[in-house]
Amino acid sequence: MFKFSKSFFKILIPIVVVIVLVMPMFVLAANGDGGGDTGGDGGGTTGSVPPINSSIEIKNPFKENTIEGLITTIIKDILIPIGSVVAVVMVMYAGFLFVTARGDAAQITKAKDALLWAVIGAAILLGAWIISQAIGKTISQLRV
């Protein structure tokens, strides 16, 4: 079986990096999307230039212009995804502590505490979501 030497990888890795970084520039230049001159004898595309007095529209990132929409967006679209990832990472960290404890009572206690706090954090996160749903439904019922 053929074995690769270290000198082979010392040569191969920079070549691969250069290809990955440089080749997209050639592809964009071939299509005429790489920027540069947009007209004249130099080639490229002759796209239309937007007018100077064009209006810029910024859309509202929240679903509604109400407090209910604000609370729902913050909890559902921001807090829950970030908190879920943090909770999963903390449970994985607690598992790592359990594995690396190797029977040491102090390390096992540390791992149990980490798992306990990860579960408490996840419960608080879900509780916040449930409370926000209850508040949102109460506000929508008061509006009617």
pTM: predicted TM-score of the whole model, two decimal places: 0.53
Structural domain includes residue 62 = no
Per this entry, what is the length of the chain?
144
CB 92 within 8 A of CB 100: no
Range of the domain at 1: 1-34
Task: Read off the pLDDT of residues 19-77 as tens digits, 9 standing for 90 and up.
Answer: 777 777 766 665 555 455 555 555 555 556 656 666 777 776 666 677 777 777 788 88
Structural domain includes residue 26 = yes
Phi/psi of residue 52, nearest 5 degrees: -65, -35
Q: Which residues contact 35 (CB under 8 A, 6 or more apart)?
A: 28
Structural domain includes residue 50 = no
For the chain, how many structural domains are there in total?
2
Q: Are residues 98 and 30 in the same domain?
A: no
